[in-house]
Chains A and B, each alone.
Chain A
Amino acid sequence: MVKKKLIIFLITIFLIVAFAESYDVKGIEELDYVIAIGFDKSEKDPENYSITFQIAKPKDKDSGKTTAETITIDAPTFDTALSSINNSNDKLLNLTHCSAIIISEELAREGLESLILNMENNVELRPTCNLFISKDKSESLIDTIGKSENFSSDIYTRIIKSGLYTGYETQTLLYDFYSNMRYSVKNPIAIYIRNSEKNVVPLGLTIFKKDKLVGIISGTEVICNNIITNKLKSATILVPNPFEDGKYLTADITQFKKTSNTVELENDKPIITSSIYLKARVSSSQSTNDDYTSAKDNEKIINSIEEYLSYNISSYFNKISREYNSDIVGFEGDLKKQYLTLDDYKNDVDWENIFSNAEFKLKIDLDLDSSYLFQRH
């Protein structure tokens, strides 16, 4: 009897819920999906942000392509901007599909703490959103992307993915930036991009000290950063050909084992040793007489690649320690492992002041897998 009453009660509840007006459910026709957000310094009021929202519109009937609409507004905070746009727009902005946050370099140099905190606090904005720093105004960059022929809702993800296999880019997420900014083991980084006529060009990585932009690394330095931080999928490098002066060969490198970093303190000076383990395969050469079956010749190629990497990684280390004094690798974390308590660590080490004097040692273990289809020409 009790069970029958319960079943009737449950059915009644179900019918009430099914036919009642919903408080929060909104259909797709009521929402505008934002795929990118840009932040610039407002020209009218330097205390405000100029915030640009790029909205993906349904496919155009004639061309069959997804189009983009851009809305820019000046506001003191991110949520005020959202509220103002929702007030004037016929649809509600939804941030759940936002895949890119683009901040201008000018704003990044002043500090991004409050901006990042507000965005991380937003429930709709995913923490896996990609973070970019733009050399130009983010509004113009977003506009350029919106007008490009290949525009689609996942264009920002494609910009990064295409670069991951060249080693010249590394994925930088909003969550990583927030975590590195708040927790002091390593400093945050973000992808550096600029506007070209019809496209967006990645230029390297921006280096931050806490929340302020302090420097930029590009090209081979990004590959070095990826090797040291174990983010390298593969990269193509141009090294001097050891058999013919003035000529080069290209090698594809991958990591076969994770880089290990050890830090020791000697008289308040950190001695950082990085051991990297790479595999290389020669993909092309400017000479036509290469022979990859000869052990002697392979050793020469290995030495040439190792010299090239050693030089570039050392220059990368110098840049992040002496020039920018920003530990973006997390060497401090390797030093902290040697201490039992945080109090002992803080009494012994003032990492912010000693990192700029760090001495770096590099050990490279390189295996050469010769070439691809031809081992000798």
Chain B
Amino acid sequence: MLTSSTILMRFSDLLQVVYYKNAPHIYIIGFFLLGICIANKFGFKSIVKTNFIIVPFIIVSGFILLIGLRKYMSPSGIYPILGNNVKETFVNGSTNIFAFSGITYLFFIMPSLKNKKDFKSIGIIFITISIIIFVLTILALLLVAPFITHSEELLSIYLLVRLAEFGEFLQRTDALFIFLWIISTLSYLSVTIMYVITIFRKNLHLKDSSELCFPLCCIILGSPLLLRNPTLLSFLEEVVYKYYVLILVFGISLLIMILANIKKGVKPKWLKRN
């Protein structure tokens, strides 16, 4: 819920800066929440099928963006290859693994699967898609806009999209990319709320949880309005969210796996042979 609020806040800020300078912020957030409520009313299967259509578009848009920016690419942006120094890249930079926070959703996906054996392949596909999208966007940013390492942008990739050109006929395609991002944000937020509703339903043993999306959306509506301070928002994103993901998603899940294996009495293969 916290991440949904911060993401919604950032993206609605971008929309307000680019397109809706005079519109109240709450209207832009309300548009997304309306979409979430409608999506959750249609149910789990509709959200999953919609995601199935949207995700390939996002991957393809990453490649298209690289093609559109080929004129501005300079390989000097990625050198030196190890960044400032080894410690900063590998030790301090290891915390950047929080970018894979989407792994959290894998923990909740198991009950929804028809065939439990598919879980492994789903996990691999998920991580592969995440890696592809990250590599494409980070490559585009470093090759075209190496100055981002020294500055703070509202949405770095929007700077690139403003430059993308596809010949003389297709120019100023940033509106298309923003349209795709709006749909993907709606999709992501719908999935998040769907999982929160599922958790509440199971914990509280509710028969019908379809109305739960309204109070949850109200919480999401209220959170961005509380987070109007950009310093607080940056603190939440860069400190709270980062260490929350590292500890809860990677740390505790790894600990649970180790403890579960100990309880089950699973011995490593080299010990079994001896």
Contact = CB atoms under 8 A, between A and B. Distances in A.
User: Do A and B bind?
Assistant: yes
A10 B76 contact: no
Given A6-B38, A179-B147, A182-B151, A340 B163 contact: no
A175 B150 CA distance: 16
Interface string B134-163: 000000000001110011000000010011
B79 A336 contact: yes
Interface in A148-190: 175-176, 178-179, 182-183, 185
Interface in A328-348: 330, 332-334, 336-337, 339-345
B41 A2 contact: yes
Pick the most buried of B23, B80, B83, B163: most chain A CB atoms within 10 A of its CB. Answer: B80
Interface in B76-90: 76-77, 79-86, 89
A123 B79 contact: no
Interface string B58-86: 00000000000000101111011111111
Interface in A254-306: none
B20 A179 contact: no
A264 B21 CA distance: 51
Main secondary structure of the interface of B (DSSP, over half): loop
Interface string B198-217: 00000000000010000000
A127 B159 CA distance: 9
Nearest to B144: A179
Contact of B79 (A23, A178, A333, A343): A333
Chain A, interface SS category: helix
A24 interface: yes
B52 interface: no
Given A6-B41, A23-B22, A341-B82, A330 B159 contact: no
Contacts of A343: 84-85
B17 interface: yes
B165 interface: yes
A118 interface: no
A183 B150 contact: yes
A13 interface: yes
B106 interface: no
Contact of A24 (B23, B151, B210): B23
A340 to B, nearest CB: 5
Interface residues of A, number: 30
B80 A345 contact: yes
Given A127-B162, A342-B83, A333 B151 contact: no
Contacts of B85: 341-344
B267 to A, nearest CB: 42
Contact of A23 (B23, B34, B38, B165): B23
Contacts of B146: 179, 183, 185
Interface in A198-245: none
Given A333-B74, A339-B79, 11 more contacts: A6-B38, A6-B41, A13-B34, A24-B19, A123-B18, A179-B145, A183-B150, A330-B74, A333-B76, A333-B79, A342-B83
Across chains A and B, which 9 residue pairs bring their CB atoms closest together, nearest first? A333-B76, A182-B147, A183-B147, A23-B23, A343-B85, A336-B79, A341-B85, A337-B79, A340-B82
